[in-house]
Amino acid sequence: MLGVCDSSDDELFTTGTLTLTKGRHITVKDQSVAIISKDLAERNNLHIGDFITTHAYNSEEEEFTGKEISVQIIGMFTPNTGEQFGEAITDYDKIQNRIFVDLQTAVESDGGKINYGFSAVNVTVDDPQNMKQIIADVKALPIIDWTAFIVDVSNEVYEKAAAPLSTLNELVTTLLAVIIVVSVVILALILTLWTKTRIHEIGVFLSVGIRKSAIIGQYLVEVLLIAVFAFGLSYLYLIALDFPT
């Protein structure tokens, strides 16, 4: 049995080694409850709401006491990893035989005694991108003797999830750059062709005494008006798609 305050924060669940498939997790408010493996439940014909009973064990005298401890099954998990072929693992170490119970039940099963203190502290991070700052804040805690403890970062799940997103981001950035370059070239060709079709109009303007700067300014205003209209429609389209602008 493994005593937990909140099973959803246990490393086996947060890393994806185990997945809760039925029922719910153990919380800090629960007492006399347990989460077992789906395989163990099927082999023993157990269901959500059933009770299982064990005896308290006196670790000092290394013997079971007569006190019975009954816990109710509130959840079942399925392991996402298994033993390799030919790997020798005792029944005690099989993950299918792991039983999660609330902390109070774990204390009672160990003779009602608890050793105060901790050999490790697990810190759950909401945003792994701020890992360096969080580590710096933890190391700044004066209540921890850092000559006896080290910080171990376990972000394998985040790295696995972030890798394809990073690749996708690079692909999107590359495609966006290519699209911008191609669009600029096409737009330049269109404007060049558009200007050539108005050569006769330019000649008429020059013949009546209109300056070249005024003619060029008129064409720029026309292009800017089209650009404002196009960008306005694009912005409204992104808003309609609920796209971050």
| Average pLDDT of span 79-96 | 72
Instruction: Indicate left, alpha or beta for 26 from its phi (over 0: left) and psi (-120 to 50: alpha).
Output: beta
Q: If one looks up domain 2-117 in CATH, what number appears?
A: 2.40.40
| Average pLDDT of span 157-169 | 73
- Tens digits of residue pLDDT in 104-162: 888 888 766 666 566 777 777 777 777 888 888 888 888 888 888 888 887 766 677 67
Q: Bridge-partner residues for 101, per DSSP?
A: 3, 34
Q: Contact at 8 Å (CB) between 47 and 23?
A: no
Residue 108: both structure tokens together: 């009672």
Domain with CATH 2.40.40 in the chain: 2-117
| Average model confidence (pLDDT) across the chain | 81
- Supply the pLDDT for residue 47: 94
Q: Is the pLDDT of residue 81 over 70?
A: yes
| Average pLDDT of span 57-76 | 79
Q: Is the pLDDT of residue 171 over 80?
A: yes
- Supply the pLDDT for residue 138: 84
Q: Contact at 8 Å (CB) between 14 and 128?
A: no
- Tens digits of residue pLDDT in 221-239: 888 888 888 888 877 877 7
Helix (H) or strand (E) holding 236: helix 212-240
Confidence of residue 82 (pLDDT cuts 50, 70, 90): low
Q: Is the pLDDT of residue 36 over 70?
A: yes
Rounded Cα–Cα distance for residues 1 and 92 (Å): 10
Q: Bridge-partner residues for 63, per DSSP?
A: 58
Residue 176: both structure tokens together: 């966006």
- Supply the pLDDT for residue 161: 67
- Supply the pLDDT for residue 87: 62
Q: Contact at 8 Å (CB) between 124 and 14?
A: yes
- Supply the pLDDT for residue 100: 94
Q: Is the pLDDT of residue 243 over 60?
A: no
Q: Contact at 8 Å (CB) between 109 and 56?
A: yes
Q: Is the pLDDT of residue 40 over 70?
A: yes
